[in-house]
Amino acid sequence: MALFRFGRKPTTDAAAPTAETQSTGDGSPTEPAARSGGGLLDRLRAGLAKTARVLNTDVRDLFKREGRLVDEEFLEELRATLIRTDMGPAAAEAIVVDVRERLRARVVDPEIVIDSIRRQLLGRLEQTGAAVAMAASGPTVILVTGVNGSGKTTSIAKLARLFTREGKRVVLGAGDTFRAAAVEQLSMWAGRLGAEIVRGEPGCDPASVAHRAVARALEGSFDVCIIDTAGRLQTQSNLMQELSKIRRVIAKQIPDAPHEVLLVIDATAGQNALSQAKGFKEAAGCTGIVLAKLDGSARGGVIVPVTEQFGLPVKFVGLGETADDLEVFSPERFVAALLEGALASAG
């Protein structure tokens, strides 16, 4: 298995203005409305605005009182602010301990506090990264899982866009056979993105759709095959077994496939994201996470405990509803976008 790193050149990115769709509620794409183009960091910054507001504004508020001492009251306020981003008690505690050690009984130094937060977050996100496991030869198969409405189908469209931009040929498998609307939604995206789609009758066995999609990828020499699945809860063991069956069917066709089993998590799910990560990793063998809807969440910090507790790397973040609103996750860019401005505006 080769490791492939996505890279979007900033020049390409800036040259290609993104379009914005209005949601129809069922996630079907609608006509794009104009939106000015923006660089990669701009989009991440915009996407993380809500989380950054909690971290930035509230941490900044802690610095407001001039000559404030680093005492237990200050440290408790700092901890509460950090917890509100959902970064988890362990990360919050580590930051508090670090700040206490570095500034004990001294006047609050915003630079040191921000530096502590930055270092702790980066250290804890170290193992996450952009590498997508690609097949050494032949089609790469990516299975996409998650609970209902988490953003699976939209994320598949976004992934297909990334791959086709790199000149790869993509075939999609409409494995959410549970709802006819889900098949239509994916078909619409496939049409827009110029990807091929394999679909079955509503209600048919998703494993048979997966089988046909992989067969099509092999016979048509496609580079990537991305398979959608119906939403399910990590606690529904019969549906989790269905995922196992899909995996077995795929593995019979290509021994080291699926090369990735991505779990799409809604960033607004807060602590629920943790039980999803746990359940899906155990029952579905997920290999990585797409954290969708980060643009609508004030709890982007949840990336930290998800990564740390389950060793599941966040590979992509979803920042909106169009096919362009996906970023390869980079801890450095993430932390920079979160903390930017915290110092400049402090004091």
User: CB of 319: closest distance to ligand GDP in angstroms?
Assistant: 6
Contact residues for 325 (Cβ-Cβ < 8 A; gap 6+): 18, 43, 47, 158, 295, 318, 319
- CB of residue 173 vs ligand GDP: minimum separation in angstroms? 14
Q: Are 118 and 335 in contact (CB under 8 A)?
A: yes
Binding segment for Mg ion (CB under 5 A), chosen from 72-80, 136-144, 177-185, 201-209, is: 177-185
State yes or no: residue 148 binds ligand GDP (CB under 6 A).
Answer: yes
Choose from Mg ion, ligand GDP, none: what does 23 bind? Cβ within 5-8 Å by kind: ligand GDP
Pick between residue 232 and residue 259 the one whose CB is nearest to ligand GDP: 232
Part of the chain binding Mg ion (CB under 5 A), chosen from 49-57, 89-97, 178-186, 315-323? 178-186
How many whole angstroms separate alpha carbon 118 and alpha carbon 150? 28
In angstroms, the CA 171 to CA 144 distance is: 14
Q: Considering Cα of 80, then 84, then 88, then 92, what sign does the dihedral take? A: negative
Size of the site for Mg ion (CB under 5 A): 3
Task: Assign 3-state DSSP to the chain and report helix, strand, coil percentages, each to 5.
Answer: 50, 15, 35
**Residue 213, burial from CB neighbour count under 10 angstroms (0-12, 13-18, 19+):** buried
Chosen residue from 48, 54, 99, 182 binding Mg ion by CB under 5 A: 182
Interacting residues with ligand GDP between 8 and 37 (CB under 6 A):
23, 27
Nearest to 245 by CA among 287, 207, 286: 207
Is 151 a binding residue for ligand GDP by CB under 6 A? The answer is yes
Name the site residues for Mg ion (rule: CB under 5 A): 152-153, 182
- Site for ligand GDP, rule CB under 6 A: 23, 27, 146, 148-154, 231, 264, 292-293, 295-296, 318-321, 325
